[in-house]
Amino acid sequence: MAEAATTRRCIGSARFGIEAHDAPVEDFPAQPSQKDGLGRMCRTHWNQYTAGLARDAKARKAAEDVADGEPAELAAEAADPTEDIPVEPPKPERKRARHARDNGGAGD
């Protein structure tokens, strides 16, 4: 029973070939939304899992760009949203002229 307090089951990921295993509790990141406050995957495998998700998303985006008829290199260059926006110089601040009535009647 004491072993249950020192190890925890990392759930792994079949999608990325990460096998479920037992790992020390210290290897699990904090996850406040979980009942026990710990994540479901050990830190090492969580990093592998999120890196795999990022690679898949990048590959999916590249495949969509190629399917649209745009080579991936051009798609990356066209991704800059600020490139075609004209930049206007800032307008100078205009200050109101002071009138006697603005000075509390000092000039009356």
Model's pTM, two decimal places? 0.56
**Mean pLDDT, the chain, whole residue set:** 79
- Give the tens place of pLDDT for each residue, 17-70: 999 999 999 999 999 999 999 999 999 999 999 999 999 999 999 988 877 775
CA distance 14 to 10: 12
